[in-house]
Chains A and B, each alone.
Chain A
Amino acid sequence: MKRFAALVAAIDETTRTSEKVEAMVAYFKDAQPADAAWAVHFLSGERPKRLIPVRRLAGWATEASDVPEWLFEQCYEAVGDLAETISLLLPEPATPEERALHVWIEEYLLPLGEMEEHEQRAAILAAWRSLAGFERFVWNKLITGGFRVGVSQPLVIRALSRVSGLSEGVIAHRLTGNWAPHADSWTTLVAEQTADTDVSRPYPFYLAYALEEELETLGEPQEWQVEWKWDGIRAQLVRRADRCYLWSRGEELVTERFPEIATAARLLPDGTVIDGEIMPWKEGKPLAFSQLQRRIGRKALGTKILEEVPVVLIAYDLLEIAGEDVRERPLAWRRARLAELLATPGVSRTLMLSPAVAAAAWDAVRAAWRRAREECAEGLMLKRLDASYGVGRRRGGWWKWKVQPYAVDAVMIYAQAGHGRRASLNTDYTFAVWDGGTLVPFAKAYSGLTDAEIRELDAWIRRNTVEKFGPVRSVKPEQVFELAFEGIQPSPRHKSGVAVRFPRIARWRTDKKPEDADTLETLRTLLHAADTEGDSRE
């Protein structure tokens, strides 16, 4: 645990990616395989789910550090992070004990979920007594489910590549799918040759950056393939060893959820991997995303829902053919092979080649972009015809160009302290629109303001807090913000009756008064428009 905590500290203490990679390489070089496996797991952003309610933990910590409850609260407010508050308040252990990371996880952390409250208490207090300083902080982060390390997956892959001498592509591929943190998985991960027995394993998805420059900066339109950016579920279809596997981008196996796709995939030859988008599609036209969500929400897939919301896989790319990894080949080549494959009789109704948008001139592309919402698309994708299929988010080969999101003016009514770097600032806000004379909350947003704006707003919030419940403050309904979001759908679970997708703050409208904010009616109109976009295609 000491070494892992030191690694976390080293990553925490630098903003230079080279140093983060260096620290990981140093760690992995001589970590025990079982520890290394857990470290890969956590560094990749996986975290154990919260095993103990935070309140309970705070109670035990208050007791163990011998401070009154009000003082614990004061300390928490100053620190802004529960795990850290606890580790700062507890007395330093008289006899710290060193145990390996995997021992802490497998023998101490995971069993907590099965324990009764009094057993948990005893186990946690014992752990606190044997962990010192930063290790105690890391442990607290792990048990509260709040463990986050400042490295991205590509950096972890880079470090693993350096440790193993394997290419980043091979590491990334070996890490996708059902990678489990065991000593054996670590050994296989860095082994020079492995009989890659996991036939289900997908490739890492290639992700696009948002286009921010003018189209003209991309060169000639003839060098690019333009496609619709569909608003469905990005997925990878793996057909190997006479079986098919459908993976979502979250690397969840979703084959069972989409039997239509699995059925069609059986017609493909073995050793085929296709990247595409799962889309609700009926009578030759896409349906709105909310329809797909209706289907995802079901526990069992009845014939009714299968009939109402059939799905297709819109095939974007071909990653493997005849068992060969073809990601390094140019897109033009891959797409030609993909088109041939999908021409197999009976396939193309469910596995559709993603249509190319005519792009003879950039103006035509602009015109298509303006039409995107009518096509039930979120915008356009631009892909270089000579580009290989990358790993993760990379600049240059692919760009996404989304249509303007929806926007409304809303009033901030609640604020809450953020996490990590912004722990002592109020950075999480709840927004409301008018419904008659009352403000109805409809969205939470965390991002979109500059650091300076956040500080200014934080000071305002502190001066204008009406009430506090735990970390949440209700504030005077005075500040108006333009909120942008990507989609809208009905939601019985929300007071407002609508749920918006990916809300963010577009602008702080200091020029507007709260009474100028939008109404629930505006949201309903947007909702209706979103619905008919889908309906009109039925």
Chain B
Amino acid sequence: MFDREEAYISWVLLNVTDRGLHCEAGDFYIDPWLPVPRAVITHAHGDHARWGCDSYLGAREGERVMRTRLGAGATIRFVDYGEAIDQQGVRISLHPAGHILGSAQVRVEYQGEVWVVSGDYKTEPDATCTPFELVRCHTFITESTFGLPIYRWTPEAIALDELRAWWRANADAGRTSVLFAYSLGKAQRVLAGLRDAAIGPIYTHGAIERLNRDYRDSGVAIADTIYAGTMPRGHDYAGGLVLAPPSAGGSLWLRRFGAISTGFASGWMRIRGARRRRSIDRGFVLSDHADWPSLLATIDATGAERVWVTHGYREPVVRWLVEHGVEAEAVASRWEGEGEAELQDLGVAGEEIVA
């Protein structure tokens, strides 16, 4: 007999509710934005991992950062990439997303139907996390933070070279280099890239230092850093590099560093106006998200018959896919791209979060 409910569920294995992306068959949510009993978390960024759920499931690689973000009291079950667990007959497994340490795509399988939720992802490998793994599926729910063809990345090595040259020039001029980078992921990626740049000491803002410790404890090799909060008053920072979250821009906290040049490592720096609006001296195009060509290539390679698009530039990505014969739809979520959520997460600008 034709079971209407079964048919419905297999058609939409996941659907968007006011609390987030919900799997009815397995009764769990993926990256919910309101507290729920069971949450599967793609990664520890603030817009994806929220406080207050009864239980969480996450990738083991990200154990330390997720504990830092969700608090010591949270009930979290960690699984290895590829390890499957059963939830009321729904098979859930996590697969590397290449975005930050422990970031995962969530693969959900029920009665032969496979859905993959990408979370945030990046296909270019970097030294701080397991590289992105392509997972074939029937329905792919992809992010689209940089879903416009103006966003095309150059290899990471180029941004790192530019960064070193800028730091060197500032050091020669007796200035302190202040680099703004998101405190979880981007900062550590920069630090991994600067491991053997012996230009000067690297100082960090408290928000970053806390996560540096998590990365080191997780076995990721990053450059040595000094927490700026431990330096005596009047310390001379000239020639050093200061890593700070973007929210510290323009704050009193920056005053101690004397004459500075400011830089910002972000995919948004591809656009000149994005840098100039923030009155930043130098922009370094370094993103933890897929650019336009790799978004399209990934969507294509998943073999998905249906694509749901979340995050930033949903409409252009959907329209492009539809014009190219793919069944695609924009899906509203409270997930954000490289940006605002990270800022809010840090609380008051410049406030030190002591490790």
Contact = CB atoms under 8 A, between A and B. Distances in A.
Contacts of A422: 273, 277
Nearest to B173: A19
A423 interface: yes
Contacts of A421: 273, 276-277
B272 interface: yes
A464 B273 CA distance: 24
A85 to B, nearest CB: 7
A465 interface: no
B319 A84 contact: no
Nearest to A67: B149
A14 B148 contact: no
B149 A75 contact: yes
Given A78-B150, A424-B277, A88 B270 contact: yes
Given A79-B150, A85-B150, A14 B281 contact: yes
Contacts of A88: 150, 152, 270-271
B282 A71 contact: no
A274 to B, nearest CB: 42
A80 interface: yes
Given A13-B282, A70-B319, A71-B316, A80 B149 contact: no
Interface string A72-84: 0011001111001
A290 interface: no
Contact of B150 (A68, A70, A75): A75
B253 interface: no
B18 to A, nearest CB: 23
A339 to B, nearest CB: 50
Nearest to B152: A88
B149 A12 contact: no
Contacts of A14: 261, 281
Interface in A51-103: 65, 67-68, 70-71, 74-75, 78-81, 84-85, 88-89
Interface residues of A, number: 25
A89 B292 CA distance: 11
Nearest to B263: A13
A437 interface: no
A239 B316 CA distance: 64
A75 B277 contact: no
A79 B281 contact: no
A78 B271 contact: yes
Contacts of B282: 13
B310 to A, nearest CB: 18
Contact of A423 (B149, B273, B279, B281): B273
B323 interface: yes
B279 to A, nearest CB: 7
A420 interface: yes
A79 B273 contact: yes
Nearest to B323: A68
A65 B323 contact: no
Nearest to B261: A14
A510 B152 CA distance: 43
Contacts of B149: 65, 67, 71, 75, 89
Main secondary structure of the interface of A (DSSP, over half): helix
B78 interface: no
Interface residues of B, number: 19
Given A71-B149, A85-B150, A88-B150, A15 B273 contact: no
Contact of B148 (A13, A78, A137): A78
Nearest to B278: A421
B150 A81 contact: no
A421 B149 CA distance: 22
A81 B272 contact: yes
Interface string B260-288: 01000000001111001101011000000
Nearest to B319: A70
B281 A81 contact: no
Nearest to B320: A71
B281 A80 contact: no
A29 to B, nearest CB: 17
Nearest to B147: A74
Nearest to B271: A79
Among B272, B316, B320, max chain A CB count under 10 A is at B272
Nearest to A76: B150
Nearest to B151: A88
A81 B273 contact: yes
B308 to A, nearest CB: 20
Contacts of B279: 15
Interface string B240-273: 0000000000000000000001000000001111
Among B148, B261, B282, B320, max chain A CB count under 10 A is at B148
A11 to B, nearest CB: 12
A81 B274 CA distance: 12
B272 A12 contact: yes
Nearest to B282: A13
Interface in B297-355: 313, 316, 319-320, 323
Interface string A418-451: 0011111000000000000000000000000000
B97 to A, nearest CB: 25
Among A14, A68, A79, A81, max chain B CB count under 10 A is at A79
Contacts of B272: 12, 81, 84, 137
Contacts of A81: 272-273
Contact of A74 (B148, B276, B277, B323): B148
A84 B271 contact: yes
Interface string B189-225: 0000000000000000000000000000000000000
A397 B104 CA distance: 66
A126 to B, nearest CB: 22
Nearest to A150: B276
Given A74-B148, A85-B150, A89-B150, A13 B281 contact: yes
Nearest to B270: A88
A344 B4 CA distance: 107
Interface string A360-372: 0000000000000
Nearest to A137: B272
Contacts of A78: 148, 150, 271
A420 B271 CA distance: 11
A74 B317 CA distance: 11
Please list the 10 inter-chain residue pairs (A to B) with the smallest Cβ-Cβ separation, ordered nearest first: A88-B150, A423-B273, A421-B276, A75-B150, A74-B316, A75-B148, A13-B281, A80-B273, A13-B282, A67-B149
15 contacts: A12-B276, A65-B149, A71-B149, A71-B316, A74-B148, A75-B149, A78-B148, A79-B150, A80-B273, A81-B273, A84-B272, A84-B273, A85-B150, A88-B150, A424-B273
Given A15-B279, A79-B271, A423-B273, 11 more contacts: A15-B281, A67-B149, A71-B316, A74-B313, A81-B273, A84-B272, A88-B270, A88-B271, A420-B273, A424-B273, A424-B277
